Amino acid sequence: MTPTVVASELEFTMVLTAERRIAVPGRLVYRTDDPYAVRVTFHTGSAHPVHWTFARDLLVEGVGEPCGHGDVRIWPTTVDALPVVLFALSSPEGDALLETATAPLVAWLERTLAAVPPGTEDCRHNLDAVLTGVLTRATGDTP
């Protein structure tokens, strides 16, 4: 069974200092065959985009209240009276603080929640595996 993919292009802003910010296009991807994970690809202008993967639950919580620790922390705030969500990302290569507008992020997140409602991730994941097995046996294909 082909997984459902929920993707969206969002504009992020990398916060370098209080006065200096850089626009960073980002692509959010959620796949129903990996129902716990959210993937974000940042296109920084170099030949190599930057990829991050973290729990969808972290993002769900982070749009409403501060959460996370370690490599990924997410929290809502306002910038120039507009609601935004901040992402503090940390890796051995360095740290980054990025922000994006809350409304398009929440709209994308709601689409992921419609595809796989919270609490049904295990059911969906197992259902995909069972259906693949049944279809493979029915058609005589080998996995």
Q: What is the mean pLDDT of the chain?
A: 87
DSSP state letter for 59? H
- pTM value? 0.81
Helical (H) or strand (E) element with 122: helix 121-139
Summarize pLDDT for 109-135 with one digit per residue, the tens. Answer: 999 999 999 877 776 555 555 455 556
Give 36's contacts (C-beta < 8 A, 6+ positions apart): 55, 56, 57, 121
Q: What is the mean pLDDT of residues 62-83?
A: 95
CATH number for the domain including 106?
Answer: 2.30.31.20
Number of domains into which the chain is organized: 1
Q: Residue type at 72?
A: V
Cα(26)–Cα(8) distance, integer angstroms? 8
Residue-number span of the structural domain to which 49 is assigned: 5-139
Q: Provide the percentage of residues in the chain whose pLDDT is more than 90.
A: 67
Two tokens, residue 110: 């709601």
